[in-house]
Structure 1
């Protein structure tokens, strides 16, 4: 209680918070009133404090949301009180937790309350061991440490609910489907401030699993969990020169997509990045082949790549907890650091690789990352090929996630110091590369992953272009958030 009493005293003694608000943002809001309503475990961070600066700093500094106060709820009831207070005073609010939420629509929040969910991070396993109640503020690393049988996203520093509300890809989806496919019920604070439970009996259940950022703040979710099937994992990381770009992706198609199907326990990723210690002239192609239940990856997946003449190959063995470090997305790796850079992505779903398009975008990426003085030298191109059996076992209309038929998630990640001119250059470059992929895909519509979205895509691209999908989502939005309180993250409309 001492911390909250100190905050109340600070709010009463100074006008720091109110004075920092713009003239159009209710400058006479008295946050002391809110502080007095919260539980003893809640915290409030004021501008100018180290805690405030740490929480509001973003992984990507492009079109960032602006908060004038940070409130850290200690209980689900605190979330109710924060949302109710914000509604009564017409103050915008945004829930936050973890890294990688970089969509530019977030910049439409120019003032308000950031609700930081870090304390809502408990895990309660049911007695039968088949379900768990998971706090809305938990991050993937914490959940993996507590419960290795849960379907989570791949990166350790992201939240669990954030990716899941947009679908959520992960290493176990070949067996069990998307992260959101595991959800059985949500405890959620809706736009009107009510705390309710949403399960399959509710019309909102469908919308939360794929477009959930639009409807509320999830304080906890009840999810399926599973027995560990294989304790051991193997990876082989194979490095290629960019000269072999067409051959590498022709082979990936043959092994796993067009002429074959990736087994449930095999995932393949690849990255492009410029590393002059490996190739001083052009970006390398790094192929990760991951297989569960083995100490070495089955040669049926690796031997054909060796025949292409790679630069080098690195096999490793370990457990599920090693996967993030092996693929460069652990807490210690660059993608989990706040560097001050802008980090926009330009995602597209594909059914298969077009080797000629791969060559075209490789040349664009090579020029962007290796030209003298380029600001994009630290950029990355990501190609995520997960096993799809569990995802495609459900019907296309099973949830608001629209892209079960697509086998590949592809995105350039452009890393650079933000500024008006470079922002425009990055947007043009990212969209140009995505357009090449789109034109080579043969697809009629641009299909994107909302969790990686840049922000200039359409709701049809984020949530599926079928008229019935858009109509169903619009009806849910009108019913559960008619005033658009949850419209900063890839809004439905």
Structure 2
């Protein structure tokens, strides 16, 4: 039997079933196993099924496929879907959006990991559009661009390009999608060379809120907004992006583990080397650090893991490492390999814990900084220590992330060129307060702690506005913090939102309004 016939037959069997009776059609089981049967409403999904391509899929509640598709990396203020559509063509997305509009159903596009913003919880019913089948990658004959499906993951893109001697800027974590971070700007290992993920976009096919499919490029007024605030405007079915010949395949990393007692001294060295007195991070260097509680190293307080990552070498230059070695770290170690090893080295590969759906809540509280205020670093270390090491803490697995990328490629592009607003900032900082959900009281504790930490950093920054990374956002930061506080930015975004999505169908992820 033709696959679509199976699909339609299954849906007809479900639709004909008495409400909540445990019918098991070939394609998907009934609504029984997930919540109240009324959640599905009176919508007849067979009408949608007949319009989709033969390899599109529809998952109904009660099936393992449905449960896997709706499971989130972070279980805090999560969206709720009654059905999952897995399109295999961009026309499937057009049909799904039109169907949703005809039936007054909300819809939300998903792909990959790490979208944890609390505004997603405003999706209380509707259709999840899962992008995993739109995973094609095609390199142009001139080798300068690639056309990339809207469901492609960073890991798959990196490996496919690498096999062809090419690479481009992607998110650092292997299990995030290529596009998801890019719509919010998108930081990556190669941004010092080439700019943000979104700076690579040449054109994109976009399904708008009204179901129309358009091509967006430099001739479209929407192109500016898609590069930094793109979650608000449409579903990108594919995009053409710049790619580059691999110039520096080999990389080295030095890991230095410090005691928390050294927190101010460690970040003073980072400031002196790269962030103050007119200095900048060298284009071939990335400096990350993590704070975490590791009782096998220090049973009383979190350690500081300082990563110095350098391209084009087999050993990190002593010019970069010696000032930190002079502080007397608890330990230091060296690694050498290629660009493809970076995610594993920093604990964000496909096999790493951050790429697992554990049932935990994973809120982050990001802030951009230009340099470290070492006094503020000491204060937030004390807050983090108290939160992660007391005997009854739910936050013992929390992680504090300090990401210092090279910035030359990012700053080479004018501040007003895209909706991404924070090219002048040098550091992306965020506590990740991983915990097992246990009701709203614990959620409130995490919320207060995360914002207390962020407020200390903000006050220490001397900035007049809170600058946050929309892809890490908690959800309470406001559009001014996500997209820039300048009046002209907000006015331009609001005007585009009114023109392309006046009823706010794309407003579950960091809404402009």
Question: What residue number does 1:13 align with?
Answer: 13
Q: Is residue 179 of structure 1 aligned with residue 162 of structure 2?
A: no
Secondary structure of the structure 2 residue equivalent to 1:37: coil
Superposition deviation, residue 262 in structure 1: 1.3
Answer whether contact 1:45 1:52 (CA < 8 A) is retained.
Answer: yes
Alignment equivalent of 2:374, drawn from 326, 331, 355? 355
Q: Is residue 276 of structure 1 aligned with residue 325 of structure 2?
A: no
Superposition deviation, residue 261 in structure 1: 1.6
Question: What residue number does 2:44 align with?
Answer: 30
Q: TM-score, normalised by structure 1?
A: 0.98
Question: What residue number does 2:334 align with?
Answer: 315
Q: Is residue 104 of structure 1 aligned with residue 122 of structure 2?
A: no
The whole-number CA distance in structure 1 between the counterparts of 2:288 and 2:318 is: 17
Question: What residue number does 1:122 align with?
Answer: 136
Superposition deviation, residue 4 in structure 1: 3.5
| CA displacement, residues 184-234 of structure 1 (integer Å, 9 cap, x when unaligned) | 101110111011100000100000000000000000010000011111100
Q: Is residue 453 of structure 1 aligned with residue 473 of structure 2?
A: yes
Secondary structure of the structure 2 residue equivalent to 1:289: strand
The whole-number CA distance in structure 2 between the counterparts of 1:361 and 1:242 is: 11
Structure 1's 295 and 70: CA in aligned 2 closer, same or farther, altered over 3 A?
same
Superposition deviation, residue 5 in structure 1: 2.9
Q: Paired residues, what number?
A: 493
Question: What residue number does 1:163 align with?
Answer: 181
Answer whether contact 1:3 1:43 (CA < 8 A) is retained.
Answer: no
Alignment equivalent of 2:506, drawn from 472, 482, 486? 486
Q: Is residue 385 of structure 1 aligned with residue 399 of structure 2?
A: no
Superposition deviation, residue 373 in structure 1: 1.6
Answer whether contact 2:31 2:60 (CA < 8 A) is retained.
Answer: no
Answer whether contact 2:31 2:62 (CA < 8 A) is retained.
Answer: no
The whole-number CA distance in structure 1 between the counterparts of 2:421 and 2:465 is: 12
Superposition deviation, residue 3 in structure 1: 4.3
Alignment equivalent of 2:455, drawn from 429, 432, 435? 435
Structure 1: gaps of 5 or more residues: none
Q: Decide which moves more: 17-26 or 78-87.
A: 17-26
Alignment equivalent of 2:255, drawn from 224, 234, 237? 237
Alignment equivalent of 2:428, drawn from 392, 409, 416? 409
Q: Is residue 51 of structure 1 aligned with residue 71 of structure 2?
A: no
Q: TM-score, normalised by structure 2?
A: 0.94
Answer whether contact 1:97 1:116 (CA < 8 A) is retained.
Answer: yes
Q: Decide which moves more: 335-344 or 25-34.
A: 25-34
Q: Is residue 94 of structure 1 aligned with residue 108 of structure 2?
A: yes
Answer whether contact 1:183 1:223 (CA < 8 A) is retained.
Answer: yes
Question: What residue number does 2:226 align with?
Answer: 208
Question: What residue number does 1:64 align with?
Answer: 78
Q: Cα RMSD (Å) of the superposition?
A: 1.4
